[in-house]
């Protein structure tokens, strides 16, 4: 039982989402129709060839000098060796950052050198590109140690000729496929063995394993309404694999087989998502989930000359607009689970997605992001997005830079509720404690005022081996005690799909959200009912708990997380100060005793968002009662 739990958590926690047999892509084209509409011989690629300098100048526009400058940083780059001990470190102490830092440094160098060469076209970067490609091709695996459990021998040390397709190896395969497509003739002028080697590695590490294997969990081969789960890995990996087939595979039968297999697999991801389009993994993962699904759909659209398109499907549009609805302002986003409250949103990706689903909301939001948070194009190991970003960079500015906060958004399937009134913005969630990147947080909420967080969802620290293991819920950030939910009769919430909200409902007119969270706790807690209700009025949030508990042994605790300075010296008031603005958490001084816990943040993934410390406010009931109601007000 324990081994099964560890394996299920190894990649990313199981999800209990409803599976709906849509099969949108397979309905759009069966294998016979795909054969008749698929554009072969790479004629679907809309970018100019390497030697077409005038059109590359047009494509690059104002980004040309910047792209060249990025490549120039690596003209004297010393390629870093990933040592055996870098893989072993993950097994020994759980650290994955050291190996990934070295590896990503090399991959980002290759991408920067390649884009610089495409921008300049003089051959100045060519030798270093060859060095980087050759260096990477010499590696035993393109996968990272944290993702090597799909090897037949499992573990985190690479086995020769047991090629694993995962997030990073897929990114490498796709990027190298673009490099091969654009530069194979130039490589031949240096030495024909360079192109030959590059093509061989893409075929051996990506194409052949994909055609022959079903063991990679993200393929979702056996997923159905009765079993299994699918998350962002599916869309991400399949988008990479599709690029590899379309750019490198010359055998038409293998090409058709590979492309159609990706369609069947991505249908599993589409089937697994809710009609409401919310991303249960949060905005930080939107670019990897819905965003990667968009990448996949766009490549498939281009490769079939638009004949396979599901961009008009309402769910696909909803999945896109989730990201604009989840943006608070000032760089903050609604975050649950492993997502961060700081949004690093890709305005160019949002624009392209919005353009294809005909969402003015997304197009204007993208224009707003570009104006308010101007960023250069990211030259990374995701070459498809680098090229796509260059192609749309100027178009975004044609749209009005507007982001209007929607007063009320209810995701009835995912059970997310967003609502705003006055200067307050509320976000609450139901769901269950077995969602992708899960935290035990059913019924939690976040509160924002003047586009700044007040009561927060902390997020997650730097990923280690422990994060995706049977020890996941020993980490404090995963526990319900460090979310804005109660500890009831001495018990926190439990992990598992059976620990879920009931009767979640929201009212647009009354600005309310309520749910029964009693089933999110273990049976030993003896909870017959615990209805948590939220009511938002102008600059005031009412949090109400209506409960019925059998065999009460321990006083209840209501927990509230904040990054502000807290003063509880005045009975009945917890004063929270954030950036010189004061907010009051009001409670019945006769019913509760307040307690503060200061939590030092020594993990840069957390401190980079919240600073050096955060505070947990706990209101401890003075009486143990079987039934009752609590009312808490948060006011500005």
**pLDDT tens digits along 438-449:** 999 999 999 999
Domain ranges of the chain: 18-43+217-406, 48-213, 414-635
pLDDT value of position 226: 74
Return the structure tokens found at 595.
């307690």
Place of tokens 């030798």: 127
CATH class given for the domain over 414-635: mainly beta
CB-based burial label for 470 (10 Å; 0-12, 13-18, 19+): middle
How far is residue 79's CA from residue 532's CA, in Å, rounded to a whole number? 55
How far is residue 282's CA from residue 378's CA, in Å, rounded to a whole number? 22
pLDDT value of position 17: 52
Beta-carbon contacts of 201 under 8 Å, excluding residues fewer than 6 positions away, are 137, 176
Please write down the long-range contacts of 592-598, taking CB distance under 8 Å and 24 or more positions apart: 592/558, 592/619, 592/620, 592/621, 592/622, 592/630, 593/619, 593/620, 593/622, 594/568, 594/618, 594/619, 594/620, 595/619, 595/620, 596/566, 596/568
How far is residue 157's CA from residue 155's CA, in Å, rounded to a whole number? 6
How far is residue 290's CA from residue 294's CA, in Å, rounded to a whole number? 6
User: From the CB of residue 559, how many other CB atoms can be counted at a distance below 10 Å?
Assistant: 20
The answer to whether 143 touches 171, Cβ cutoff 8 Å, is no
How far is residue 240's CA from residue 207's CA, in Å, rounded to a whole number? 11
- Length in residues, the chain: 636
How far is residue 339's CA from residue 460's CA, in Å, rounded to a whole number? 7
Q: What is the dihedral of CA 80, 82, 86, 87, to 10 degrees?
A: 160
Q: pLDDT tens digits for 324-361?
A: 999 999 999 999 999 899 978 999 999 999 999 999 99
The answer to whether 327 touches 343, Cβ cutoff 8 Å, is yes
DSSP designation for 570: S
Return the structure tokens found at 290.
């819905």
Which residues of the chain fall short of a pLDDT of 70?
1-17
Supply the pTM of this predicted model: 0.93
CB-based burial label for 46 (10 Å; 0-12, 13-18, 19+): exposed
pLDDT value of position 276: 96
Return the structure tokens found at 143.
């996968």
pLDDT value of position 227: 78
């Amino acid at each position: 039982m324990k081994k099964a739990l560890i394996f299920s958590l190894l990649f990313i926690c199981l999800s209990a989402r409803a599976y709906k047999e849509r099969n949108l892509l397979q309905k759009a084209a069966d294998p016979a129709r795909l054969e008749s509409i698929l554009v072969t011989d790479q004629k679907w690629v809309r970018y100019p060839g390497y030697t077409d300098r005038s059109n590359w100048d047009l494509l690059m526009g104002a980004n040309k000098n910047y792209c060249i400058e990025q490549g120039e940083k690596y003209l004297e780059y010393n390629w870093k060796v990933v040592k055996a001990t870098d893989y072993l470190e993950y097994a020994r102490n759980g650290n994955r950052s050291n190996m990934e830092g070295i590896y990503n440094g090399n991959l980002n160098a290759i991408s920067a050198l390649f884009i610089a060469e495409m921008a300049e076209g003089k051959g100045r970067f060519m030798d270093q590109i060859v060095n980087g490609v050759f260096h990477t091709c010499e590696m035993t695996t393109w996968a990272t140690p944290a993702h090597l459990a799909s090897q037949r021998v499992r573990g985190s040390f690479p086995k020769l000729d047991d090629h694993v397709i995962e997030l990073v190896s897929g990114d490498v395969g796709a990027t190298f496929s673009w490099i091969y497509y654009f530069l194979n003739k130039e490589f031949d002028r240096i030495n024909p063995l360079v192109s030959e080697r590059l093509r061989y590695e893409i075929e051996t590490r990506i194409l052949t394993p994909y055609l022959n294997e079903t063991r990679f969990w993200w393929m979702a081969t056996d997923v159905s309404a009765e079993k299994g789960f699918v998350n962002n890995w599916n869309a991400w990996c399949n988008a990479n694999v599709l690029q590899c087939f379309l750019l490198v595979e010359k055998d038409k039968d293998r090409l058709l087989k590979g492309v159609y297999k990706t369609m069947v697999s991505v249908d599993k991801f589409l089937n697994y998502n809710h009609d409401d389009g919310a991303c249960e993994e949060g905005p930080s993962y939107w670019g990897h989930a819905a965003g990667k699904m968009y990448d996949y759909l766009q490549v498939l659209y281009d490769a079939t000359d638009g004949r396979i398109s599901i961009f008009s499907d309402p769910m696909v549009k909803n999945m896109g607009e989730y990201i604009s609805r989840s943006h608070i302002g000032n760089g903050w986003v609604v975050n649950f689970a492993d997502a961060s409250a700081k949004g690093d949103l890709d305005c160019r990706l949002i624009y392209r997605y919005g353009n294809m689903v005909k969402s003015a909301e997304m197009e204007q939001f993208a224009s707003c992001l570009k104006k308010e948070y101007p960023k250069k194009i990211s030259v990374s190991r995701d070459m498809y997005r680098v090229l796509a970003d260059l192609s749309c960079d100027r178009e975004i500015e044609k749209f009005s830079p507007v982001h209007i906060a929607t007063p009320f958004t209810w995701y009835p399937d995912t059970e997310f509720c967003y609502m705003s009134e006055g200067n307050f913005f509320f976000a609450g969630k139901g769901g269950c404690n077995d969602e992708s990147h899960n935290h035990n947080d059913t019924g939690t909420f976040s509160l924002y005022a003047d586009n700044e967080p007040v009561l927060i969802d902390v997020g997650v620290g730097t990923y280690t081996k422990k994060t995706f293991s049977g020890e996941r819920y020993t980490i404090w950030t995963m526990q319900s005690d460090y979310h804005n939910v109660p500890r009831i009769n001495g018990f926190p919430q439990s992990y598992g799909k059976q620990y879920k909200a009931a009767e979640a409902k929201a009212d647009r007119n009354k600005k309310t959200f309520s749910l029964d969270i009693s089933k999110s706790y273990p049976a030993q807690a003896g909870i017959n009912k615990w209805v948590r209700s939220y009511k938002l009025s102008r600059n005031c949030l009412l949090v109400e708990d209506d409960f019925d508990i059998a065999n009460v042994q321990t006083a209840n605790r209501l927990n509230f997380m904040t990054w502000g300075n807290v003063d509880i010296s005045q009975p009945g008031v917890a004063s929270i100060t954030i950036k010189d603005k004061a907010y009051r958490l009001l409670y019945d001084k006769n019913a509760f005793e307040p307690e503060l816990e200061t939590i030092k943040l020594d993990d840069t993934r957390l401190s980079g968002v919240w600073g050096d410390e955060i505070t947990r406010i706990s209101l401890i009931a003075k009486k143990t009662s079987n039934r009752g109601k609590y009312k808490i007000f948060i006011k500005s």
